[in-house]
């Protein structure tokens, strides 16, 4: 006996999600089968809701239910600093620190010739329109890999002529880690970025 057709369809969909393998997809599908009708309907309608209600902020491209997003419309945020990130999810990671109170701008990717992504594919034009006399500093928080570095260098090159201060988040040894297990490139960056105590 094969899985019933609809169950098989559900397993295939679950298998296509990141981090869910074939065995786990079967396990999750079996769990869903045992869920109560209101819970399963809630799951289905939440999916439809997420698709219909969540959009990108027209100013900073963050994901939001209201446009412009709550950060762009906030009166308590520091509008003199803009932090540039690759993905909307990076904003939530930074917001969890409760330390950065400026604005954000989502590039929606990084420059990557190998994947055919050029500067024109990123949200750089809308970034340029946001830079006015209010803006003092741009923090580039792209990921610390080859593409992220290349993108930060590109951004520095086009933003510097606008007379704005450009900074890059520090690379170094993560808090709570063990030097023994850190790769040499990170240790190199940690030495380069050493600070007086």
> How far is C-alpha 20 from the chain's CA centre?
21
- Residue 62 contacts by C-beta under 8 Å, 6 or more apart in sequence? 56, 69, 71, 72, 88, 91, 104, 106
Which of 59, 61, 62, 172 touches a second copy (CB under 8 A)?
Answer: 62
Query: Of the two residues 26 and 121, which places its CB atom closer to a second copy in the complex?
Result: 26
Rounded CA separation 144/183 (Å)? 13
Assign 72 to helix, strand or coil.
helix
Which of 50, 146, 153, 188 touches a second copy (CB under 8 A)?
Answer: 50
Which of 41, 58, 136, 177 touches a second copy (CB under 8 A)?
Answer: 41
Query: Of the two residues 27 and 130, which places its CB atom closer to a second copy in the complex?
Result: 27
- Residue 32 contacts by C-beta under 8 Å, 6 or more apart in sequence? 10, 40, 43
Which of 17, 158, 185, 188 touches a second copy (CB under 8 A)?
Answer: 17
Rounded CA separation 87/104 (Å)? 11
Query: Of the two residues 87 and 159, which places its CB atom closer to a second copy in the complex?
Result: 87
Provide the minimum distance between the beta carbon of 195 and a second copy in the complex, in angstroms, as a whole number: 29
Which of 33, 128, 170, 188 touches a second copy (CB under 8 A)?
Answer: 33
Q: What end-to-end distance do the CA atoms of the chain give, in Å?
A: 69
What are the residues binding a second copy (CB under 8 A)? 1-7, 9-10, 13, 17-20, 24, 26-33, 35, 37, 40-51, 53-54, 62-65, 69-71, 87-89, 91-92, 95
């Amino acid at each position: 006996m094969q899985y019933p057709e609809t169950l098989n369809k559900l397993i295939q969909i679950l298998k296509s999600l990141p981090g869910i393998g074939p065995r786990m997809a079967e396990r999750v599908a079996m769990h869903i089968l045992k869920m109560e009708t209101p819970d399963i309907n809630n799951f289905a309608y939440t999916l439809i809701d997420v698709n219909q209600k969540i959009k990108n902020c027209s100013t900073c491209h963050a994901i939001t239910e209201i446009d412009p997003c709550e950060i762009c419309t906030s009166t308590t945020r520091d509008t003199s600093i803009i932090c540039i990130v690759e993905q909307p999810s990076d904003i939530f990671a930074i917001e969890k620190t409760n330390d950065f109170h400026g604005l954000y701008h989502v590039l929606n990717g990084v420059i990557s010739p190998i994947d055919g992504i050029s500067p024109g594919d990123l949200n750089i034009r809308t970034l340029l329109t946001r830079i006015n006399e209010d803006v003092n500093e741009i923090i580039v928080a792209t990921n610390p890999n080859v593409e992220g570095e290349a993108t930060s260098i590109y951004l520095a090159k086009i933003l510097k002529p606008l007379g704005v201060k450009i900074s890059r988040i520090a690379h170094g040894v993560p808090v709570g880690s063990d030097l023994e297990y850190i790769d040499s490139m990170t240790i190199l960056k940690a030495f380069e970025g050493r600070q007086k105590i």
